Amino acid sequence: MPTIRMLPVAVAVTLTPAFAARLAAQAPPEVGGVADRAATITAVDMQRRIGILAHDSRGGRDTPSPGLEKTARYIAGEFGAFGVKPALGTDFLQWYPLTRVGPGSRSGQSLVLRQGGSMYQLDPSSEYLSLPVGEAVRASGPLAIPEAEGRAEAGSVLVLRATAQNLGERLGELRGMLAGGPVGALIALDAPDRYLSGVRLFFESDRLTLGRPETLDVPAAIVPLASLPGALRRSVEHGEVPAGWTADLRSSATVRVDSAMNVVGWLEGSDPALRDEYVVFTAHMDHVGVGRPVEGDSIYNGADDDASGTAGIVELAQAFASGPRPRRSLVFMTVSGEEKGLLGSEWYSEHPLFPLDRTVATVNMDMIGRNWEDTIVVIGKGESTLGALAERVASDHPELGLAVIDDLWPEERFYFRSDHYHFARKGVPILFFFNGVHPDYHRPSDEPDKIKAEKAARIVRLVYLIGIEVANADDRPAWDPAAYRRVVESGDH
């Protein structure tokens, strides 16, 4: 290496910033360099990052939890250190609201039925189930059945019949029916006792939903037919107006507003004509937290699900940040709330930080560290030109020792079970890298020491190489028209 003293004066003079920029613009693309940078995604790095993300101290990364936030801040810190830019000005974290609704105390729940001089008080712990709808709501009025088109008179307490087969549907209709003026609702359930026990279990655990509270402000309860007084039961069974009956109903629930976050960073593309188009890489950083102990272990580490994909996103960000920029911009995203129903990616898809109509592809990795080592399932590869591209890149790089294969388990509907789905339904072509489930799936034994880091690293290298091609191609990926109609227009797969 020459010292400064030996540098020819002419070179020093001509190497002005403008000249250097022109020189850089004329430099040929680094063909060999791409494979070299892919090789910086190593098994050692993957294992180390999965060890950090899935460590017991992260508490299984439940949404929301301190362990999840610690994980998000770790990823944001890595992004920042690589020179990846925050998607929100100075912040990598996209916060979103959550509502947690749980059962209220039994002492806040009551149901009293009256006819003439008779009064029947039902026990919420055994004779009926108070639905957790609002914080403390009370109503009384005459019982009524829905009129034509599901309406009922204002001021009444609506009585709806339901069976085990249609209870879910009835609950779904409730909000609309109550909009017409009834002040409360009783769902008379014609089903075996053990069925109600199952429903009770469901409503006795907290439910997490996206967004701010949207609870009903009218009380509602599920009452087995057998709990109703005989005369009332007969009129309900015959679909007759329960004349002369009134109900006084109190429900209670705990409603808490909470929040969780996605981590979003990006690298700007090099081509002024294409840099406002984006290639997005996703994985979910959350898992299911602490749960029922199995063999003395209660921390559900989620090393494969999905610390493996999350480590992959961090490694991709590092590899891309250390090399020349491809033409399109790149977005690196780790979402949360996946295990609660794809909440973080749903929020992003409704509040995108980069326009979805200029997001040309989303590549999702969820569970890439276990099972067989010479193939990787790529769900969605039949839907767009991304599939053929992925197959070609895999065969152009035999050193990866990976063939991309179709969904092996269509009956499991994995297509709808990870975060790419919220991009696909919005019209973004997707690829979903997934190694399938295993006996440690959603158990405390999904531990870092069971990860096949060498395999995971090869998958992330493949994603890196596919990402470069998509980001540099003249044309953006195109949907297969039939798949577009199915996925985007009909919401199917």
Mark the segment that binds Zn ion (CB under 5 A) among 45-53, 137-145, 224-232, 358-366. Answer: 358-366
Binding Zn ion (rule: CB under 5 A), the pick from 277, 305, 346, 383 is 305
Give the count of alpha carbons within 13 A of 480, CB side only: 15
Q: Is 406 helix (H, G, I), strand (E, B) or coil?
A: coil
CB of 305 to Zn ion, least distance (A): 4
Q: How many CB atoms lie within 10 A of CB 365?
A: 31
Measure CA of the first residue to CA of the last residue in the chain; give whole Å.
58
Burial class (CB in 10 A: 0-12, 13-18, 19+), 241: middle
Residues 206-225 binding Zn ion (CB under 5 A) are: none
CB of 338 to Zn ion, least distance (A): 6
Contact letters for Zn ion, residues 317-356 (x by CB under 5 A)? ----------------------------------------
Residue 164 or 437: which CB sits closer to Zn ion? 437
Residues 267-296 binding Zn ion (CB under 5 A) are: none
Helix (H) or strand (E) run with residue 177 in it: helix 167-178
CB of 72 to Zn ion, least distance (A): 16
Tokens 């840099």, residue located:
275
Contact letters for Zn ion, residues 17-46 (x by CB under 5 A)? ------------------------------
Residue 306 or 383: which CB sits closer to Zn ion? 306
| Share of the chain residues as helix, strand and coil, in percent rounded to the nearest 5 | 40, 25, 35
What 8-state DSSP symbol labels residue 305?
Answer: I
Residue 175 or 417: which CB sits closer to Zn ion? 417
* Amino acid, single-letter form, for residue 101: V
CB of 349 to Zn ion, least distance (A): 17
Residues 360-399 binding Zn ion (CB under 5 A) are: 366
In angstroms, what CA-CA distances link 468 with 33, 81, 280, 383, 482? 12, 21, 12, 20, 27
Residue 334 or 349: which CB sits closer to Zn ion? 334
Residue 306 or 447: which CB sits closer to Zn ion? 306
CB of 417 to Zn ion, least distance (A): 8
Contact 349, 426 (CB under 8 A): yes
Residue 306 or 446: which CB sits closer to Zn ion? 306
Residue 45 or 306: which CB sits closer to Zn ion? 306
Q: Which of 489, 469, 467 is nearest to 479 (CA)?
A: 489
306 lies in the binding site for Zn ion (CB under 5 A): yes
Residue 184 phi/psi, 5° resolution? -165, 175
Residues near Zn ion (CB under 5 A):
305-306, 366
